[in-house]
Structure 1
């Protein structure tokens, strides 16, 4: 294959837009491992990068988008991988400063590559993708800090998003009592199917104004940030744990020290982009076993490269739920 169909993003006359292009394989990426992409997936970061909404994310133009990819190795100059190996590559500089996964062929550094764990297909890996990895990493980090099913309710904010919906499925399967918060009333049945024991309509919540509110949650998973994350800090139980992994509601956080010094609340940042490989492999192994969502078929939909512009537009407006898997063939 001399050319690969790819979704390439351009910055022309200060206007960011993408289109499907035939890109010479020799010009794609850099690194020791070349693989034929079976699937990629769409993350909120991809939508922001491809549309220019929310500021400049891509550092080099033109660039093939997509922070996720899974496929089969065709060649490798690194002894850890050989032709025929099924692999996953997510995050790092993929789709930001390095050609990403929206391409029939990817070339990446070997240090970014994770062997596909037993128990996952290539499709499963991209139905999870960075979103599933982030959800799994958040569960892992909070459990290392003492989260357990018997401690009390676990709130998941922004519940219909990719990371949050997967987190609900994972947590419910592990026996956690999950409370889902969403502004999408029409999606309550979907969230119950994933395992939410309780659903709160965001419009009905009194977010309060005091430094400390009634303690409600043993743990929380937040993809929203801003005022809603500030409310979470004020409503956690003593020793409550918050995983922060998104900023759909803003990057500012206005709160006080009281939740932290009077209740021992712990706010834990979840950075999925650059995780030590030992931890990355451990989380992917769990995603293939005890953290594997039960409802991937309900959470994921399949699209093609040509469908990306419409999907990005709906995503930045909050008009999607779950995950989109991009089929390359």
Structure 2
């Protein structure tokens, strides 16, 4: 199809006509930027415009792609969705753990937008500001910590992303009409779980199960304090009662140790954690026996390639060792790196599963 006449092109960008999207691109000589016909920016004067058929022509002539309408992206790609895609990317960043969620100026910089324009996009697509959304995310995280853990209030505030306990208390009261301490006082009574021991060739395992037989925690017997700490962090107050390992769990673990490496997948689990942690733990379970992944690869797998550090933190908070196979995560160089249960046990598990090891 031939390029439409300049006056037709200019009229199309004046009304942001989607029928012309992809038929031509507008090169604005006064700004050095090229745009799609549907660009939400103020239309330039005709005398300052030239029109080309392809984005490559504009770039070859030295024009830069507009950051609002993203003409450098092909049809159907996330970038071609323009402002909506920018909001989607911002939400993905803000959903990261609180310690990794950037303040507004840095968020806008990462998206290639001004703070003012980012606020306008949030108002248009979501009806709230980035600050309000970030505060809601922090408060949701704080509620989860208050209900599930025994962490001190200062630690809850810091973990949820607040830089001040006073600000945390003020915002919590304003939104929930009660203080964080009042919220915690309304928690349900302690959860009753069963603690059993299971012998293996390389260690004695502590296994915590629910009334339905699902595994809520698994750790080594010399790390019982850590097991109890993670249980409290993820489930809130718990009472552990000694008992037997459920037959289905014992049989599956025995089968795994005997060489049926897929047997771990038959064990029901009841791990509690944040949405981000759950995604990381699901990605761990997706690593086939005999294979390994790095933190960066796990971050890629969950769609957050810049969150390798946060993935490492979630990996360390995994309450169900072996079954949720955090031992299958190694260094990017192929070295074993660390393991909460000890390097010798990690090496044993990987060797049992047939993974190629670089013992560095």
TM-score range, shorter chain: under 0.3
State the structure with bigger RCO (CA 8 A, min sep 6), 1 or 2: 1
**Greater Rg over alpha carbons, structure:** 2
For normalisation by structure 2, the TM-score amounts to 0.22
Q: Identify, as 1 or 2, the structure richer in helix.
A: 2
